[in-house]
Structure 1
Amino acid sequence: MIFSECIEINPRVVLEKGKEYPFIEMANVDLFSRSPKAIDIKPYSSGVKFQQGDTVIARIEPCLQNGKGFYVNELNCGFGSTEFLVFRPKIEDLDNRFLYYFLQTDYIRKSMIASMTGATGRQRVNNDIFDTLEITLPDINTQSRIADILSTYDDLIENNQKQIKLLEEAAMRLYKEWFVNLRFPGYETTEIIDGVPEGWNEGLVKDLGKVITGKTPPTSVKENYGGPIPFVKIPDMHGNIYPLETELTLSERGANTQRGKLIPANSLMVSCIATVGLVCIAHQPCHTNQQINSIILNDERYLYYAYFKMKGLKSLLEGVGSNGATMTNVNKTKFESLKIIFPDIRVIEIFNNHVEPMFKSIYTLSKQVLLLRQARDKLLSRLMSGEIEV
């Protein structure tokens, strides 16, 4: 049958202007994840509207290609960016949950991507594609069983993600208590001079270690890519503390074109162009593109302190990188010249004793999430094709 004959695109939802509803912006939508990372509450004025059971997919590049979308599972209704498309079953014999997974298939996603029109870098899906796109659906009982199987994986993924969030929040609370509110061990007997505790020092980001701005090997040379070396870009950083999976990887040849750009494990990566203030920890040696400044730490005991410190610099990065330009850009010189405080190393060591087990658990849970996603995606393809019967 034809896609638009059984699936409604941007169906009608009644929202009252000026009344507050759940709002989901594109930045809060993770890649190939069933649920958004965060939900805001805002007065409705305009935007794409959705309700319980709808599937929402990004319609603009590179968000569609990167896999941004979600299933409306715990909201009665809400609205979001105009750069979303909303899908809902038009016929009774189509399971809402199955539709969400059906829309993740390569066939549907590649058809949507192939239809995109507009200026390069801002292309959007042409909705006319849905009036000619042919699809085949299993019976409703098979749909339900497929959705049950795939939902089990997503339940486990979301449970792990919740644990990761709780662990990071716990570590962040300790960081703020000790290094923002200055209620660190021994604060009662430590003199504070001009807002800086005795024994702490003022310094610059470059005093943390060597700052490296990434670079992209020539994309015209295919042999530069597809090898074992992770190549981190901003989309790989979203929602991740450790970017365990990257869209692109470099070959030894590609890495050798920029040997001075390799950063070791336990380096900090900070996005500094366009979307600024994302912070990740390298879990293995890797390269980044030119939108990311990385810090190779002189003393890895400062790793977790520096991680939270960099996250806290988001507003500052946006300020120093604006300069009236249309795109925020914090170059290496600006980045490494940002002022920061270096706490007493004894306090840092005590802090590490508290938070390092949390970050080790985060890393383990993140690996589990990656493996679950890979297993789910392989299973999705085989279930949808009928290769595996249910």
Structure 2
Amino acid sequence: MKKYVRLNDLGYVSRGRSQHRPRNAPHLYDGKYPFIQTADITKSDLYITSYSQTYTEAGLSQSRLWDAGTLCIANAGVNTGDNAILGFKACFPDSVIGFIADKSKCNVLFVKYYLDVIKPQIKSITMGATQDNLSVSKLLTFDIPNVSLEIQNKIAGILSAYDDLIENNNRRIALLENMAEELYREWFVRFRFPGWREAEFEKGIPKGWELQRVDSLGKIITGKTPLTSNEKYYLGNIHFIKTPDMHGNMFIYETEEKLTEDGLKSQPSQILPKNAISVSCIGTGGITSITTQRCCTNQQINSIVLKNENDLEWAFYTVKGLKETIYAFGSTGTTMTNLSKGKFSGLKFICVPKYLRDEYHMLTCPMFKEIQRLTQINNMLAKTKNALLPRLISGKLAVEDLAVQLPPSMHPKIA
């Protein structure tokens, strides 16, 4: 038996289709057929369960409907190599490669996890003059271990057990986030706060509530990138936050790049404490997250070091709600937002009385702490899975040995 095979030996491989020009023609969209894009793949963990766009019948006619279970692989731009499995029938464009597994030869989860292992190699051969691009022919140059279906199923079962735990925690995080945000909207957007029936209103807002500037919340700090040519500044354990680290994360527990103590101290006026609120203001504007350790950000991010940490939960949603304002004030005439520190500091919001902010803090602080706890658990699970992944795939760690290394609560059911 051959030790390695190519992806097309294990199933059907083809690029997606989106043949209409122009691609943004309105009649193609807002129908009933899910249309998956590379960003939908990137934000998914194991399965694609949501989407941001749909096709009409006209859109479908110039594309193709792929079955649930199709492995979607992003093949263009910064998302190149990211992959996830369709949880429903959907279309996708030619910036996505689809793989339909031959179930008699492979487990699609095994293939997905193997592509995760070799993603750095995939990205290294796709770097072009303008943007990364992974063609089908390039993808088919990679060898895939030709192990038995039984072993594939066992490896997939072990690794997917971690993903199942992570996904379960993500659902709990989403529920808590929704509860806290809905309470914020009820009290501070719809003005149905405790005692609202007796409140007086002036110009559409409760009397005593007033417009204030963002810098009234605390000190505004704009990030700066430490000198990249100095090797002593990088590969440490201190967060260096960039906008991609913030996407989908209320709390930042992991960053792609990390600094040493020397790297952090090289930017003394940019050092942020725990519980600073960071907001992307250049590029994709309005992404909002909370720091979890002493850290710093790049220059695309402005952060608020709060005067009163009891305002954290209320201030987080207040600043997050300024996203459209950030777009408007940071408009450059192109698709990119560019909001200076001065403009960000001067953005206005409705400040509510301290007693209501304190009440909101008492109700939502436990929710935020539980979100933090679950996020930390997920990071631990992801690190453990990522450490096991290459060892299991390569055969350096035998499947039979793994159950001994896992805590009893984490023992997966092996297929």
Do the structures match in fold with TM over 0.5?
yes
Q: 1:235 is matched with which residue?
A: 244
Q: 1:302 is matched with which residue?
A: 311
- Structure 2 residue runs without a partner (length 5+): 20-27, 400-415
Q: 1:92 is matched with which residue?
A: 104
Matched, 1:3 2:7: yes
Contact 2:83 2:112 in 1 (8 A): no
Q: 1:69 is matched with which residue?
A: 83
- Structure 1 residue runs without a partner (length 5+): none
Matched, 1:79 2:95: no
Q: 1:253 to 1:61 in 2, by over 3 A?
A: farther
The CA deviation at 1:246 is 0.7
Residues 1-390 of structure 1 aligned to structure 2 (within 5 Å): 1-10=5-14, 20-30=32-42, 33-36=45-48, 38-40=50-52, 42-44=54-56, 45=59, 50-64=66-80, 68-72=82-86, 74-75=87-88, 77-80=89-92, 82-90=94-102, 92-105=104-117, 108-120=118-130, 122-390=131-399
Contact 1:59 1:124 in 2 (8 A): yes
Residue identity in the other structure for 1:54: T
Residue identity in the other structure for 1:315: E
Q: 1:276 to 1:47 in 2, by over 3 A?
A: farther
Give the TM-score of the pair, scaled to structure 2: 0.86
Residue identity in the other structure for 2:202: I
The CA deviation at 1:9 is 2.6
Contact 2:8 2:140 in 1 (8 A): yes
The CA deviation at 1:162 is 0.3
Q: Calculate percent identity across the aligned residue pairs.
A: 36
Q: 1:191 to 1:39 in 2, by over 3 A?
A: same
Alignment coverage as a number of residue pairs: 382
In the alignment, the residues of structure 2 paired with residue 361 and residue 309 of structure 1 have an alpha-carbon distance, to the nearest angstrom, of: 21
Farther off after superposition, 197-206 or 236-245: 197-206
SS at match of 1:119: coil
Residue identity in the other structure for 2:241: V
The CA deviation at 1:54 is 1.4
Residue identity in the other structure for 1:198: K
The CA deviation at 1:141 is 0.9
| Deviation per residue, 1:142-193 (Å, 9 max, x gap) | 1111111111111110000000000000001100000000011111222111
In the alignment, the residues of structure 1 paired with residue 220 and residue 94 of structure 2 have an alpha-carbon distance, to the nearest angstrom, of: 38
The CA deviation at 1:326 is 4.3
Residue identity in the other structure for 1:56: C
Contact 2:82 2:119 in 1 (8 A): no
Residue identity in the other structure for 2:133: R
Q: 1:195 to 1:28 in 2, by over 3 A?
A: farther
In the alignment, the residues of structure 2 paired with residue 210 and residue 14 of structure 1 have an alpha-carbon distance, to the nearest angstrom, of: 48
Q: 2:408 is matched with which residue?
A: none
Give the TM-score of the pair, scaled to structure 1: 0.91
| Deviation per residue, 1:276-301 (Å, 9 max, x gap) | 11110111111011111100111122
Farther off after superposition, 157-166 or 373-382: 373-382
| Deviation per residue, 1:199-257 (Å, 9 max, x gap) | 22211111111111111111111211012211011111111111101111111221122
The CA deviation at 1:6 is 3.0
In the alignment, the residues of structure 1 paired with residue 216 and residue 63 of structure 2 have an alpha-carbon distance, to the nearest angstrom, of: 45
Contact 1:47 1:80 in 2 (8 A): yes
In the alignment, the residues of structure 1 paired with residue 236 and residue 121 of structure 2 have an alpha-carbon distance, to the nearest angstrom, of: 28
